Amino acid sequence: MVGAFVGTAIEWYDFYIFGTAAALVFGRVFYPDVAPGAALLASFATFWVGFLMRPVGGLVFGHFGDKFGRKNVLVLTLILMGSATTLIGLLPTYAQIGILAPILLVVLRGLQGFAVGGEWGGAVLLSTENATAKKKGLAGAWVQQGSPAGSILATVMFLIVGLLPDEQFITWGWRIPFLVSAILVIVGLVIRVKVEESPDFEAAKQSKEVVSAPVLVAIRTAPLLIGLGVLASVMGISNAYFSNTFLLAWTTGSLGIERQLMLNILLGMAILQFIWQPIAAKIAERFGIARVMLAGLILSVVLTVPYFLAIQAASPLWITVTLYATIIGSTAYYALLATLLASAFPARIRYSGVSLAYQLCATVFGGSTPLVAQWILNSTGGSVWGVAVFYAVMILITIAGVWGLQRRIARSVEAETAATATASVA
């Protein structure tokens, strides 16, 4: 659990600092010759590139993770992510090398997405496959703790460099969070190389269940599970980038909320998420994973109107209150998403199945969220309600996915129980 959590936290830190920088600085540094609104769209499009590469990473690393084991793959993904992030911190600007600057930024962002595409699924399996049946929910939740932990680290770093005068922040201050990644990766590697291989993978290898092309087997034998997994992951991926990237740009831009204040609000949100997720996992041990997930999502739907009324009023106080209340619901669901996805696939294709579902969702829904939300905002003249409908639709899609996936898992368990009973009688 510790090995999975630490590595995942570092990789999410790398991913989140890019999203924060995309909202605050990349439009000015890498796309200075276009209008501010268009520059922000270009910055968010670059942000999306990382998500376009995540399914590719999921395919490649899922294949090797199911074939050769989880541990070595996770060491490689950590090295790749750290290298790409550090190089972004060293990247010349548009003013220095022209169009080559945004091109290199896109390439490095793609490498980030490729790395995280293999990281999340492997970390989920490393943690849940080493846990007892009763503790799998908590084990999966600790992998999910990497997201708020990474967000906390990223926000703290930008709060520190944000204290610089604006000119210094734009010139060199934004680079510091990216360069710090190199130190964090070394710490993560020291911990991760000591982790033992997953017992479920070792058992599959000994019983000759390891298949030569696990990705193809997953696509051929479990397309419905992969599709439901995509839908079940929508808010788990989209919500973080709605808040940490789009909302940050929106509130500190046209709504006029001070940058440091909004970063402090997001920091408090991440801390609340970090505290609440293990509690939600413990509650799920009593009431069931799917019930807690669906209850959290329904709470998020109910709070949509108050949340967007607070945004419309541009009130930092009410944005904080409604955002934090919404986070209680959405992170109760998010804490248990990893365990739900891992329980849907057999061990021989689990890395591939989980990675495909989660990373395809990241490409279609997660990475596009800031871009689509900003486009809706621009198209409606700044009205919050078009964005509110978009936000609510994502929650409803997620509810449908969680409910459908849980039904499939329950049917599989019933079928296995019946088959075991028949074999015992025979």
CA 115 → CA 58, 103, 110, distances in Å? 9, 19, 9
Confirm if 44 and 374 have CB atoms less than 8 A apart.
yes
Domain ranges of the chain: 2-425
Q: Find the length of the chain.
A: 426
Confidence of residue 328 (pLDDT cuts 50, 70, 90): very high
Most confident of 5-19, 23-37, 324-338, 343-357: 324-338
User: What is the average per-residue pLDDT within 14-18?
Assistant: 79
Q: Does domain 2-425 sit in CATH 1.20.1250.20?
A: yes
pLDDT at 306: 95
Confidence of residue 131 (pLDDT cuts 50, 70, 90): low
Confidence of residue 260 (pLDDT cuts 50, 70, 90): confident
Nearest CA among 142, 139, 117 for reference residue 130: 139
Please check the confidence at residue 56 and state whether its pLDDT lies above 80. Answer: yes
Q: What are phi and psi of 383, to 5 degrees?
A: -70, 135
Please check the confidence at residue 205 and state whether its pLDDT lies above 70. Answer: no
Confidence of residue 308 (pLDDT cuts 50, 70, 90): very high
Q: What is the mean pLDDT of the chain?
A: 82
pLDDT at 143: 78
Please check the confidence at residue 37 and state whether its pLDDT lies above 70. Answer: no
CA 84 → CA 69, 109, 201, 235, distances in Å? 24, 7, 29, 26
User: What is the average per-residue pLDDT within 149-169?
Assistant: 87
